[in-house]
Amino acid sequence: MPDSAMVHEQETLILQTLEQFLERDVRPYVMELEHNDIWPEEIVHKMAELGLFGAIIDEEYGGLGLNTEEEARLMFEVGKAAPAFRSVFGTTIGIGSQGIVMDGTDEQKSKYLPKLAAGEIVGSFCLTEPNAGSDAKSLQTTAILDGNEYVLNGTKRYITNAPRAGLYTVYARTNPEDKGAGAVSAILVEAGTKGQSTGKIDKKMGQKGTQTSDLVFEDCRVPATQLLGLEEGMGFKTAMKVLDRGRLHLAAACVGMARRLIDDALAYAMERKQFGQPIANFQLVQAMLADSETELYAARTMTLDACKRRDAGEKTTRAAACAKYYATEMVGRVADRAVQIHGGAGYIAEYKVERFYRDVRLFRLYEGTSQIQQLIIARDMIKSAS
């Protein structure tokens, strides 16, 4: 059942409809996704019809206007399906469009948010480069003002949804002499702009159906009005603010995934018999179930607390990093135990935990590795104590 604490009737309805959609249309397709590596258009269409692409975009732009806590409760359900399902719309509503929501001009919001909310275009967040991953501030892509246009040059790497996106928020250096964060700006680039191209689709360990690739700019010209917020030098801060929210979204998705993995492992343990009885009767198996349930409870509580604080207007950089760090590490341990409980079956694709085991590995890497979260948490602790 969807989470009963969801306060508004509208959100309860969304969760119920979503649950039916996941059960009826999404879950049966997930195994095919492993081979096809792409979501069929009808499923993407249905995601849009349900309003998923506009979940956290304001109602005035056609979205559902969910707050952070409501978004987390939505992700608790979505996470149960498949991480690749989340990323089609999750990247659009999260890091793919939040830059515009947070720092766009009214004109930029009116131009792009309705299309993003309706799922007419997919949004993509373009920060990482071949030589700038964890050290995002050192990015080298340039966007130089020439008359009333910016000219972009450089390569972005591992860009989620790059092959199918309609709009890229590209973080680039508008003053190449300045190597600091203050010279980074966010530029909105529409797909198909001359001088912009995507590389070959990356072959990944998991999360089949989520397509990532390089995004290359060679003298790509966009009107100067595509500068986010019409203010140079604000891009790095925008990216950090977007990631602060995105990390809560990911933490919530991990909670959903852990729920699914524990439910599957429990069902298997109660059905599978060894030594004349269900393996769930054995205390060593029970220990694995209990550890997983306890850690899930902690991650869920932590994520909701951070979301509530954010909704109350608190700065939640540290709390979001804690939630992302704990929830992503937690789901890694839960997936490992789920495979262990399944025994040999856990290594076989048809039992599905094998897919989750590969899929969840990415959560500890993207939107900031676990080590980056540790660094953000500790730095903030030191700053507060100084």
> Using CB under 6 A as the criterion, which residues of the chain lie in contact with ligand COS when the complex forms?
127-128, 134, 136-137, 181-182, 236-237, 240-241, 243-244, 317, 366-368, 372, 376
Q: Residue 127 or 331: which CB sits closer to ligand COS?
A: 127
**Are residues 296 and 330 in contact, defined by beta-carbon separation less than 8 angstroms?**
yes
Give the whole-angstrom CA distance, residue 95 versus residue 76.
18
Distances (CA, A) of 133 to 87, 140, 367, 368: 20, 11, 10, 8
- Cβ at position 353, least distance to ligand COS in Å: 25
User: Which segments within the chain are labelled E, that is strand?
Assistant: 123-126, 142-146, 149-160, 167-173, 184-190, 196-198, 212-223, 273-274, 277-278
Give the whole-angstrom CA distance, residue 9 versus residue 263.
27
Q: What's the maximum distance between 2 C-alpha atoms anywhere in the chain?
A: 79
List active site positions.
Answer: 367
- Cβ at position 138, least distance to ligand COS in Å: 8
Q: Residue 243 or 251: which CB sits closer to ligand COS?
A: 243
Q: Residue 60 or 178: which CB sits closer to ligand COS?
A: 178
Residue in 221, 149, 147, 160 with CA at minimum distance from that of residue 190: 221
Q: Residue 116 or 243: which CB sits closer to ligand COS?
A: 243
- Cβ at position 236, least distance to ligand COS in Å: 5
Give the whole-angstrom CA distance, residue 55 versus residue 245.
14
Q: Residue 127 or 248: which CB sits closer to ligand COS?
A: 127
- Cβ at position 368, least distance to ligand COS in Å: 3
What is the SS3 assignment for 175-240?
A: CCCCCCHHHEEEEEEECCCCCEEECCCCCCCCCCCCCEEEEEEEEEEEEHHHEHHHCCCCHHHHHH
**Are residues 335 and 314 in contact, defined by beta-carbon separation less than 8 angstroms?**
no
Q: Residue 172 or 262: which CB sits closer to ligand COS?
A: 172
Number of C-beta neighbours around residue 236 at 10 A:
21
Give the whole-angstrom CA distance, residue 1 versus residue 9.
15
**Are residues 322 and 302 in contact, defined by beta-carbon separation less than 8 angstroms?**
yes
Residue with the two structure tokens 């903030």: 380
- Cβ at position 169, least distance to ligand COS in Å: 11
As a whole number of Å, the CA-based R_g of the chain is 21
- Cβ at position 372, least distance to ligand COS in Å: 5
| Adjacent-strand bridge partners of 242 | none
- Cβ at position 213, least distance to ligand COS in Å: 14
**Are residues 347 and 339 in contact, defined by beta-carbon separation less than 8 angstroms?**
yes
- Cβ at position 67, least distance to ligand COS in Å: 19
Report the SS3 class of residue 369: coil
Q: Residue 111 or 237: which CB sits closer to ligand COS?
A: 237
Q: Residue 179 or 194: which CB sits closer to ligand COS?
A: 179
